[in-house]
Structure 1
Amino acid sequence: MVTRMGLYGVMGAPIRDAQRVLVAGTSGSGKSTLCRRLHERLELPYVELDSLYHGPHWSELPTFESDVERLITADRWVLEWQYDRVRERLLERCDLLIWLDYPAHVVMWRVVVRTIRRELSQEMLWNGNTEPPLWTVMTNPEHIIRWAWRTHRGYPRRIRRILEERPRLRLVWLRSPRECDALLDRLR
Protein backbone atom coordinates (compact mmCIF):
# COMPACT_ATOMS: atom_id res chain seq x y z
CA MET A 1 0.00 0.00 0.00
CA VAL A 2 1.51 3.33 -1.03
CA THR A 3 0.30 6.45 0.67
CA ARG A 4 1.47 9.58 -1.06
CA MET A 5 0.69 12.62 0.99
CA GLY A 6 -0.09 15.01 -1.85
CA LEU A 7 -2.36 12.53 -3.60
CA TYR A 8 -4.23 10.85 -0.77
CA GLY A 9 -3.89 13.27 2.11
CA VAL A 10 -2.19 12.58 5.40
CA MET A 11 -2.85 9.08 6.60
CA GLY A 12 -2.29 8.98 10.35
CA ALA A 13 -3.63 5.47 10.99
CA PRO A 14 -1.00 3.55 9.02
CA ILE A 15 1.65 5.27 11.08
CA ARG A 16 -0.06 5.14 14.47
CA ASP A 17 -0.30 1.34 14.40
CA ALA A 18 3.19 0.78 12.98
CA GLN A 19 5.58 -0.89 15.38
CA ARG A 20 8.78 -1.12 13.30
CA VAL A 21 9.31 1.98 11.16
CA LEU A 22 12.10 2.71 8.70
CA VAL A 23 12.77 6.21 7.39
CA ALA A 24 14.44 6.31 3.96
CA GLY A 25 16.03 9.20 2.12
CA THR A 26 19.37 10.48 1.00
CA SER A 27 21.84 12.15 3.36
CA GLY A 28 20.48 15.52 4.42
CA SER A 29 16.83 14.67 3.82
CA GLY A 30 16.03 14.58 7.54
CA LYS A 31 15.89 10.86 8.34
CA SER A 32 17.34 11.19 11.85
CA THR A 33 15.23 14.24 12.63
CA LEU A 34 12.05 12.45 11.57
CA CYS A 35 13.06 9.36 13.56
CA ARG A 36 13.52 11.48 16.69
CA ARG A 37 10.13 13.12 16.16
CA LEU A 38 8.40 9.76 15.61
CA HIS A 39 10.18 8.45 18.72
CA GLU A 40 8.65 11.32 20.71
CA ARG A 41 5.13 11.11 19.26
CA LEU A 42 4.72 7.34 18.98
CA GLU A 43 7.05 6.36 21.84
CA LEU A 44 8.97 4.01 19.56
CA PRO A 45 12.52 3.21 20.72
CA TYR A 46 15.17 4.97 18.62
CA VAL A 47 18.94 4.66 18.29
CA GLU A 48 20.71 6.64 15.59
CA LEU A 49 22.44 4.11 13.32
CA ASP A 50 25.36 6.49 12.74
CA SER A 51 26.20 6.16 16.44
CA LEU A 52 26.49 2.38 16.02
CA TYR A 53 28.52 2.60 12.80
CA HIS A 54 31.08 5.38 13.38
CA GLY A 55 33.85 4.68 15.87
CA PRO A 56 36.65 7.02 16.92
CA HIS A 57 38.43 8.76 14.02
CA TRP A 58 35.54 7.79 11.71
CA SER A 59 36.47 4.10 11.91
CA GLU A 60 33.78 1.48 11.44
CA LEU A 61 32.79 -0.19 14.69
CA PRO A 62 33.21 -3.99 14.51
CA THR A 63 29.97 -4.50 16.47
CA PHE A 64 27.81 -2.56 13.97
CA GLU A 65 25.94 -5.49 12.42
CA SER A 66 25.39 -7.33 15.71
CA ASP A 67 24.19 -4.08 17.34
CA VAL A 68 21.70 -3.52 14.51
CA GLU A 69 20.56 -7.13 14.72
CA ARG A 70 19.92 -6.73 18.45
CA LEU A 71 17.85 -3.59 17.81
CA ILE A 72 15.66 -5.04 15.08
CA THR A 73 14.77 -8.19 17.00
CA ALA A 74 12.79 -5.97 19.36
CA ASP A 75 9.05 -5.63 18.79
CA ARG A 76 9.07 -1.85 18.42
CA TRP A 77 11.51 0.69 16.92
CA VAL A 78 12.07 3.52 14.47
CA LEU A 79 15.35 3.59 12.52
CA GLU A 80 17.01 5.19 9.51
CA TRP A 81 17.17 2.99 6.41
CA GLN A 82 20.86 3.27 5.61
CA TYR A 83 24.09 1.28 5.39
CA ASP A 84 23.91 -1.31 2.64
CA ARG A 85 25.18 -4.12 4.86
CA VAL A 86 22.01 -4.02 6.98
CA ARG A 87 19.37 -2.59 4.62
CA GLU A 88 17.82 -5.96 3.70
CA ARG A 89 17.57 -7.10 7.32
CA LEU A 90 15.96 -3.79 8.27
CA LEU A 91 13.40 -4.19 5.47
CA GLU A 92 12.61 -7.77 6.48
CA ARG A 93 11.60 -6.62 9.96
CA CYS A 94 9.87 -3.30 9.30
CA ASP A 95 6.12 -2.90 8.91
CA LEU A 96 6.22 0.66 7.53
CA LEU A 97 8.67 2.51 5.31
CA ILE A 98 8.54 6.30 5.15
CA TRP A 99 10.34 7.72 2.13
CA LEU A 100 11.58 11.31 2.27
CA ASP A 101 11.67 11.99 -1.48
CA TYR A 102 12.59 15.67 -1.44
CA PRO A 103 13.88 17.62 -4.46
CA ALA A 104 17.66 17.74 -4.87
CA HIS A 105 17.83 21.47 -4.13
CA VAL A 106 16.12 20.95 -0.74
CA VAL A 107 18.38 18.07 0.25
CA MET A 108 21.56 19.76 -0.93
CA TRP A 109 20.71 23.00 0.88
CA ARG A 110 20.09 21.05 4.07
CA VAL A 111 23.24 18.94 3.90
CA VAL A 112 25.47 21.93 3.07
CA VAL A 113 24.03 24.10 5.86
CA ARG A 114 24.23 21.23 8.35
CA THR A 115 27.82 20.45 7.38
CA ILE A 116 28.93 24.08 7.69
CA ARG A 117 27.12 24.50 11.03
CA ARG A 118 28.68 21.34 12.43
CA GLU A 119 32.15 22.26 11.22
CA LEU A 120 32.05 25.82 12.54
CA SER A 121 30.69 24.77 15.93
CA GLN A 122 32.91 21.69 16.13
CA GLU A 123 29.75 19.83 17.18
CA MET A 124 30.56 16.45 18.67
CA LEU A 125 28.93 13.78 16.54
CA TRP A 126 29.43 10.07 17.26
CA ASN A 127 32.14 8.60 19.44
CA GLY A 128 34.25 11.76 19.55
CA ASN A 129 34.07 12.59 15.83
CA THR A 130 33.57 16.07 14.43
CA GLU A 131 32.69 17.16 10.91
CA PRO A 132 35.74 17.05 8.60
CA PRO A 133 36.92 20.42 7.26
CA LEU A 134 34.64 21.72 4.51
CA TRP A 135 37.49 22.00 2.02
CA THR A 136 37.75 18.18 2.01
CA VAL A 137 34.63 18.14 -0.15
CA MET A 138 37.08 18.79 -3.01
CA THR A 139 39.45 15.95 -2.14
CA ASN A 140 37.32 13.24 -0.55
CA PRO A 141 34.87 11.47 -2.88
CA GLU A 142 33.04 10.12 0.19
CA HIS A 143 32.50 13.58 1.72
CA ILE A 144 28.88 13.82 2.90
CA ILE A 145 28.02 16.62 0.47
CA ARG A 146 29.34 14.65 -2.52
CA TRP A 147 27.70 11.50 -1.18
CA ALA A 148 24.30 13.21 -0.94
CA TRP A 149 24.58 14.53 -4.49
CA ARG A 150 25.69 11.16 -5.91
CA THR A 151 23.07 9.04 -4.15
CA HIS A 152 20.00 11.29 -4.47
CA ARG A 153 18.96 10.00 -7.91
CA GLY A 154 19.20 6.33 -6.94
CA TYR A 155 16.40 6.27 -4.39
CA PRO A 156 13.40 6.08 -6.74
CA ARG A 157 14.89 2.97 -8.35
CA ARG A 158 15.54 1.41 -4.93
CA ILE A 159 12.02 2.12 -3.72
CA ARG A 160 10.46 0.69 -6.91
CA ARG A 161 12.50 -2.50 -6.44
CA ILE A 162 11.37 -2.78 -2.82
CA LEU A 163 7.71 -2.40 -3.77
CA GLU A 164 8.07 -5.05 -6.50
CA GLU A 165 9.71 -7.47 -4.06
CA ARG A 166 7.46 -6.60 -1.10
CA PRO A 167 4.05 -5.59 -2.47
CA ARG A 168 2.48 -5.76 1.01
CA LEU A 169 4.95 -3.33 2.58
CA ARG A 170 3.26 -0.10 3.61
CA LEU A 171 5.02 2.94 2.22
CA VAL A 172 4.35 6.56 3.08
CA TRP A 173 5.87 8.76 0.37
CA LEU A 174 6.63 12.32 1.46
CA ARG A 175 7.63 14.74 -1.30
CA SER A 176 8.34 17.88 0.75
CA PRO A 177 9.16 19.03 4.28
CA ARG A 178 5.65 20.52 4.39
CA GLU A 179 4.13 17.06 3.84
CA CYS A 180 6.36 15.68 6.60
CA ASP A 181 5.27 18.42 9.00
CA ALA A 182 1.61 17.76 8.14
CA LEU A 183 2.08 14.08 8.90
CA LEU A 184 3.67 14.86 12.27
CA ASP A 185 0.91 17.35 13.09
CA ARG A 186 -1.64 14.60 12.61
CA LEU A 187 0.24 12.44 15.11
CA ARG A 188 -0.03 14.92 17.97
Structure 2
Amino acid sequence: MPHDAPAPPPAVTARRILVAGTSGAGKTTLAGRVSAVLGLPYTELDGLYHGTGWTPRPEFEDDVRAVVAQDAWVSEWQYTAVRPLLLERAELLVWLDPPVPVVLWQVGTRTVRRRLRRTELWHGNVEPPLRTVLRDRDHILRWAWRTRHKLRGLDERLAREAPHVRVVRLRSRRAVERWVRSLA
Protein backbone atom coordinates (compact mmCIF):
# COMPACT_ATOMS: atom_id res chain seq x y z
CA MET A 1 0.00 0.00 0.00
CA PRO A 2 1.58 3.37 -0.98
CA HIS A 3 2.21 5.84 1.85
CA ASP A 4 -0.34 8.29 0.51
CA ALA A 5 -3.06 5.79 -0.36
CA PRO A 6 -6.56 6.95 0.44
CA ALA A 7 -7.67 6.22 3.98
CA PRO A 8 -10.51 3.77 4.43
CA PRO A 9 -13.88 5.33 5.22
CA PRO A 10 -14.41 5.96 8.92
CA ALA A 11 -16.69 3.98 11.17
CA VAL A 12 -18.74 6.99 12.16
CA THR A 13 -20.86 4.89 14.46
CA ALA A 14 -17.85 3.98 16.62
CA ARG A 15 -18.07 5.50 20.07
CA ARG A 16 -15.10 3.76 21.70
CA ILE A 17 -11.97 4.54 19.73
CA LEU A 18 -8.31 3.72 20.28
CA VAL A 19 -5.32 5.28 18.55
CA ALA A 20 -2.28 3.01 18.28
CA GLY A 21 1.25 3.74 17.15
CA THR A 22 4.82 3.68 18.33
CA SER A 23 6.27 6.44 20.50
CA GLY A 24 6.24 9.64 18.49
CA ALA A 25 3.76 8.47 15.85
CA GLY A 26 1.20 11.09 16.89
CA LYS A 27 -1.25 9.04 19.00
CA THR A 28 -2.07 11.77 21.50
CA THR A 29 -2.48 14.45 18.84
CA LEU A 30 -4.77 12.33 16.69
CA ALA A 31 -6.80 11.07 19.66
CA GLY A 32 -7.44 14.67 20.70
CA ARG A 33 -8.50 15.61 17.18
CA VAL A 34 -10.85 12.61 16.86
CA SER A 35 -12.37 13.48 20.22
CA ALA A 36 -12.99 17.07 19.15
CA VAL A 37 -14.42 16.19 15.73
CA LEU A 38 -16.75 13.46 17.02
CA GLY A 39 -17.60 15.10 20.35
CA LEU A 40 -16.40 12.10 22.36
CA PRO A 41 -14.57 12.33 25.70
CA TYR A 42 -10.81 11.90 25.48
CA THR A 43 -8.55 10.45 28.17
CA GLU A 44 -4.78 10.65 27.79
CA LEU A 45 -3.30 7.46 29.23
CA ASP A 46 0.08 9.03 29.98
CA GLY A 47 -1.72 11.40 32.36
CA LEU A 48 -3.27 8.45 34.17
CA TYR A 49 -0.05 6.44 34.27
CA HIS A 50 2.65 8.94 35.30
CA GLY A 51 2.67 10.19 38.87
CA THR A 52 5.01 12.74 40.40
CA GLY A 53 8.65 12.05 39.61
CA TRP A 54 7.69 9.83 36.67
CA THR A 55 6.54 7.08 39.04
CA PRO A 56 3.65 4.86 37.94
CA ARG A 57 0.41 5.74 39.73
CA PRO A 58 -0.99 2.78 41.69
CA GLU A 59 -4.54 3.72 40.60
CA PHE A 60 -3.67 3.48 36.91
CA GLU A 61 -5.43 0.22 36.07
CA ASP A 62 -8.52 1.16 38.09
CA ASP A 63 -8.64 4.52 36.32
CA VAL A 64 -8.46 2.78 32.93
CA ARG A 65 -11.26 0.41 33.97
CA ALA A 66 -13.40 3.44 34.80
CA VAL A 67 -12.69 4.99 31.40
CA VAL A 68 -13.53 1.86 29.40
CA ALA A 69 -16.73 1.32 31.41
CA GLN A 70 -18.12 4.51 29.85
CA ASP A 71 -20.35 4.36 26.78
CA ALA A 72 -18.04 6.56 24.69
CA TRP A 73 -14.37 7.46 24.78
CA VAL A 74 -11.22 8.07 22.78
CA SER A 75 -7.78 7.10 24.08
CA GLU A 76 -4.37 5.81 23.08
CA TRP A 77 -3.69 2.08 22.91
CA GLN A 78 -0.58 1.74 25.01
CA TYR A 79 0.69 0.26 28.28
CA THR A 80 0.80 -3.51 28.03
CA ALA A 81 -1.01 -4.06 31.32
CA VAL A 82 -4.18 -2.30 30.15
CA ARG A 83 -4.21 -3.00 26.43
CA PRO A 84 -6.56 -5.99 26.85
CA LEU A 85 -9.00 -3.85 28.90
CA LEU A 86 -9.01 -1.18 26.22
CA LEU A 87 -9.29 -3.61 23.35
CA GLU A 88 -12.15 -5.56 24.92
CA ARG A 89 -14.46 -2.54 24.75
CA ALA A 90 -13.06 -0.75 21.69
CA GLU A 91 -14.99 -0.62 18.43
CA LEU A 92 -12.36 1.08 16.27
CA LEU A 93 -8.59 1.17 16.43
CA VAL A 94 -6.78 3.75 14.31
CA TRP A 95 -3.23 2.58 13.71
CA LEU A 96 -0.73 5.34 12.96
CA ASP A 97 2.04 3.63 11.04
CA PRO A 98 4.24 6.27 9.38
CA PRO A 99 7.77 5.47 8.18
CA VAL A 100 10.39 5.12 10.94
CA PRO A 101 12.34 8.29 9.93
CA VAL A 102 9.13 10.34 10.28
CA VAL A 103 8.43 8.92 13.73
CA LEU A 104 12.00 9.50 14.91
CA TRP A 105 11.92 13.09 13.62
CA GLN A 106 8.60 13.72 15.38
CA VAL A 107 9.66 12.25 18.73
CA GLY A 108 13.02 14.02 18.53
CA THR A 109 11.65 17.48 17.78
CA ARG A 110 8.87 17.05 20.36
CA THR A 111 11.37 16.00 23.05
CA VAL A 112 13.77 18.87 22.34
CA ARG A 113 10.92 21.41 22.22
CA ARG A 114 9.44 20.17 25.51
CA ARG A 115 12.83 20.19 27.22
CA LEU A 116 13.83 23.65 26.03
CA ARG A 117 10.45 25.10 27.05
CA ARG A 118 10.37 23.07 30.29
CA THR A 119 6.85 22.00 29.35
CA GLU A 120 5.05 20.41 32.28
CA LEU A 121 3.64 17.10 31.17
CA TRP A 122 1.84 15.08 33.86
CA HIS A 123 1.82 15.71 37.61
CA GLY A 124 4.69 18.20 37.44
CA ASN A 125 6.98 16.06 35.30
CA VAL A 126 9.17 17.60 32.61
CA GLU A 127 11.46 16.04 30.02
CA PRO A 128 14.87 15.22 31.55
CA PRO A 129 18.00 17.02 30.36
CA LEU A 130 18.84 16.10 26.77
CA ARG A 131 22.23 14.65 27.80
CA THR A 132 20.41 11.83 29.61
CA VAL A 133 19.79 10.22 26.23
CA LEU A 134 23.39 8.99 26.49
CA ARG A 135 22.99 7.16 29.79
CA ASP A 136 19.29 6.41 30.29
CA ARG A 137 18.33 3.25 28.41
CA ASP A 138 14.66 4.24 28.64
CA HIS A 139 15.07 7.84 27.49
CA ILE A 140 12.19 8.49 25.09
CA LEU A 141 14.51 8.83 22.08
CA ARG A 142 16.21 5.50 22.79
CA TRP A 143 12.85 3.91 23.62
CA ALA A 144 11.39 5.09 20.31
CA TRP A 145 14.31 3.57 18.41
CA ARG A 146 14.23 0.29 20.33
CA THR A 147 10.46 -0.18 19.93
CA ARG A 148 10.11 1.19 16.39
CA HIS A 149 8.92 -2.15 14.98
CA LYS A 150 6.85 -3.22 17.99
CA LEU A 151 3.50 -3.02 16.18
CA ARG A 152 4.55 -4.85 13.03
CA GLY A 153 1.70 -7.16 11.99
CA LEU A 154 -0.79 -5.46 14.31
CA ASP A 155 -3.69 -5.70 11.86
CA GLU A 156 -3.26 -9.47 11.50
CA ARG A 157 -2.92 -9.96 15.28
CA LEU A 158 -6.06 -7.95 15.97
CA ALA A 159 -8.01 -9.85 13.31
CA ARG A 160 -7.32 -13.00 15.36
CA GLU A 161 -7.44 -11.61 18.91
CA ALA A 162 -10.13 -8.94 18.64
CA PRO A 163 -12.21 -9.51 15.50
CA HIS A 164 -14.88 -7.11 16.84
CA VAL A 165 -12.48 -4.17 16.48
CA ARG A 166 -12.29 -2.44 13.12
CA VAL A 167 -8.74 -1.34 12.23
CA VAL A 168 -7.94 1.72 10.15
CA ARG A 169 -4.23 1.90 9.27
CA LEU A 170 -2.84 5.30 8.34
CA ARG A 171 0.72 5.48 7.00
CA SER A 172 1.19 9.17 6.21
CA ARG A 173 0.16 12.63 7.34
CA ARG A 174 -1.82 12.97 4.13
CA ALA A 175 -3.80 9.80 4.95
CA VAL A 176 -4.40 11.06 8.50
CA GLU A 177 -5.68 14.40 7.22
CA ARG A 178 -7.98 12.73 4.69
CA TRP A 179 -9.35 10.39 7.33
CA VAL A 180 -9.95 13.16 9.89
CA ARG A 181 -11.73 15.28 7.24
CA SER A 182 -13.93 12.32 6.42
CA LEU A 183 -15.15 12.22 10.03
CA ALA A 184 -16.73 15.66 9.86
Aligned to 1:56: 52
Cα distance per residue 1:43-72 (max 9 Å; x no partner): 110011101000011011110000000000
What is the TM-score with the length of structure 1 in the denominator?
0.92
Residues 7 and 30 (structure 1 numbering): CA distance in 2 closer, same or farther, change over 3 Å? closer
For structure 1, list consecutive stretches of 5 or more residues without a partner in the other structure.
Answer: none
Give the 5 Å matches for 1:1-188: 9-14=6-11, 16-188=12-184
- Deviation, 1:169, is 2.1
- Structure 2: where are the runs of 5+ without partners? none
Superposed structure 1 runs of 4+ greater than 3 Å apart: 4-13
1:134 deviates by: 1.0
How many residue pairs get aligned? The number is 184
Normalised by the size of structure 2, how large is the TM-score? 0.94
- 3-state SS of paired residue (1:112): helix
Q: What's the RMSD between the two structures over aligned residues?
A: 1.7
**Structure 2 CA distance for aligned equivalents of residues 19 and 9 of structure 1:** 23
Distance 1:99 1:135 in 2: 31
Matched-pair contact (CA < 8 Å) for 1:98–1:173: yes
Q: 1:151, CA displacement in angstroms?
A: 1.0
Percentage of pairs with the same residue: 47
Structure number with higher helix proportion: 1
Post-superposition shift, 1:8?
A: 7.5
Supply the AA of the counterpart residue of 2:6: G
State the one-letter code of the partner of 1:127: H
**Aligned-partner SS, 2:81:** helix
